[in-house]
Amino acid sequence: MGRIICQHIWNTAPGVTVSSRRAMTARAIYAPLLLSPTLSTANKVVAPSQRSLSTNSALAVSNKRVGTRRTCVRAATCHSDPDFTFKRRDYGANAVDKLIFKVGPSQELPPDDVKNCFDYPRNLQERYELKEMVGSGNYGVVYKALDRATGMKYACKTISKVPRGKNNATPHHLLKIRAEVDCMSTLGASLDAVFLKDVFEDDVSVHLVMELCEGGVLLEERNVMHFTEQEVAQLMRSVFRFLAQCHSKGIVFRDVKPGNFLFTSADRKTRRLKATDFGLAVEYSPGDPPLTTPAGTPIYIAPEVILKRYGYEADVYSAGVMCFQLLTGRYPYWPDMHFRSPTMKDLFSKICKESIDFSNLSNEGVSAAAQEFLQLLLQKNRRQRPTATEALCHPWMQDPGNGGVAPDTPLQGTAVQRLQRFAVNSHLKQHVLTMMANDMLAEGADITQRQCAILSDLRELFTLADTDLSGDVSVVEMTAGLLGKGYSLTQDELQQLMSKMDVNGDGTVDVEEFVTSLLDWHEVQKEQNWQAMVRRAFDKLDLNGDGSISLEELVVFLYPDSYQHGNEDGVVPMEEAMHMMRDFDENGDGRIQWEEFYAALSEGNTP
């Protein structure tokens, strides 16, 4: 029956050719919106460690599951679909759970009560030798681990029992951890998902020992350059096999994106693509009320997720966005990657209301079969999308030896996307904008309500990125943050980006530099106080108040220490200052006039 249904749905003509296509871009644009973490319970941007998770079972070491139906909150919705009658909670304790899981979700628990709350084994160090750290982020820390008995290498993900910003553990956070373990254990030894080998706990943490994938994330340049459509189809077969397995076992993954798929090795002939990071996965059955908590990486989520009533179909839509990205090097909502980063509201409006334009795909070298496949996956109406199992039956998805029609023409990749606009600005402009951002961040600053809201969002984002609470963001933290939010950058690119954000050159990015580089200055300058803000910055540089900024005043601003220490230390800064002045000094008179200063920072010139 399943095969007949598939054949009926995928009635498409064979024999498709592919034209030469424009260059494919390997990774996403660096922009404030797309850097946004996943969505969670309060329908606001939060860190991966604050994601809303659920479980309906307790996990024993033997992977036996004892559970009850989820706790659902009966509530009327505005949706006319009879399937969407009640709101539901994404997680909940069950009848056999310990009392600490059943108290209020935000209630802080005494440390002694959570030492053995999961009843997982406590002999991690006896079984495994932890090696170097290979990743870190809001979710925890990942180490290489060596099995002492066999010498096999694994990855060990360590998650604190205490949530970020709390002094003690909470039932909410503990259930989130258990949900991740439950979902991974439910899938078992899937060939399309990272295998969870062992779970341990100690007094303060839970440790997940899992398969080590050393081939890197999907959208790394060395992985996607020179792909053919056949290779993309093969990758998407892995993705949809994984989703079909999840859905058959009652799991909605909720975060399908390239950053959550790893290659097992660097060998293109033998490597497999495997899903990882089950931090947003929840258990769900077809008869359950719809999921209502928005979750996922914003650029990949389905319309019904935004509308807060969704199920398995949302994973299929996200996979469609991912497939579109692999085939074209761009997102479905813009004709190329040179777009101004939208607000979350604008992005959600595009996803829910605007039709995706597929008309240019032929010019981009995408075959007719692939275009049909994308159009089916990206239907706004969830009921018109195929299931993951049905998607696997599409002719474009088939192996070439089994009637597959995906062409073998290379998708020729070239350069990766540009760094965020701030990174290409002159050094002087970065310094000036940083000074202006400092003024805006100062207590009692004269800023508008809109500007205050923008800064508040960026402060929150910085707090989430600053995982060690040091007050600045390191390369390691930035790497984890970007990978966790759907970006895929090489180490060289990341170093380049950090060097541009790091205006003062101390090797880290503090909150002022972070805000400066990610602030939407176009929005800021729309406010009525923009000219006054620029004027205050100009007056700070115009030390003698003569209405212009001289080279000497510029050196004092940029290099105060070098200037005070005498000529020997001041020679190089003076040369650099002369070079920087040319970016503002339009008439070449060796001074920066007010009009030149304002023009350099205003419409069309801000990042």
CA distance 172 to 161: 10
255 is catalytic: yes
Q: Which two tokens stand for residue 410?
A: 């290379």
Residue 128: phi and psi, rounded to 5, are: -135, 145
**Local structure of residue 472 (DSSP, 8 states):** E
Adjacency order of strands within the sheet including 128-137:
128-137, 140-147, 153-160, 205-211, 196-201
Instruction: Please list the residues that pair with 71 across neighbouring strands.
Output: none
Q: What region does 573 belong to: left with phi over 0, alpha with psi -120 to 50, or beta?
A: alpha
Q: Give burial (CB, 10 Å; 0-12/13-18/19+) of 328.
A: buried
Any binding-site annotation on 157? yes
Alpha-carbon distance of 525 to 433, in angstroms, equals: 12
Structure tokens at 104: 């209020």
> How far apart (Å, rounded) are the C-alpha atoms in residues 247 and 242?
9
Distance in angstroms (rounded) separating the CA atoms of residues 240 and 392: 7
The C-alpha atoms of residue 495 and residue 475 are separated, in whole angstroms, by 7
> How close are the terminal C-alpha atoms of the chain, in Å?
56
Specify whether the CB–CB gap between 557 and 431 falls below 8 A: yes
Give the H or E element holding residue 159: strand 153-160
Q: How far apart are CA 599 and CA 605, in angstroms?
A: 8
The Cα–Cα gap between 38 and 344 comes to 12
Torsional class of 590: left (φ above 0), alpha (ψ -120 to 50), beta (otherwise): left
User: Which residues in 190-260 belong to E strands, given as ranges?
Assistant: 196-201, 205-211, 227-228, 251-252
Burial grade of 115 (CB within 10 A; 0-12, 13-18, 19 or more):
middle
Query: Any bridge partners for residue 205, and if so which?
Result: 160
Nearest alpha carbon to residue 70 among 310, 293, 291, 308: 291
Tokens of 489: 């950058």
C-alpha to C-alpha distances, 535 to 231, 422, 529, 596, nearest whole angstrom: 55, 21, 10, 12
Q: How far is residue 267's CA from residue 578's CA, in Å, rounded to a whole number?
A: 50
Catalytic residue among 90, 192, 198, 255: 255
Residue 184's alpha-carbon distances to 97, 263, 386, in angstroms, are 19, 18, 25
Distance CA 451, CA 454 (A): 5
Binding-site residue ranges = 157
Catalytic residues: 255
Binding-site residue ranges for ATP = 157
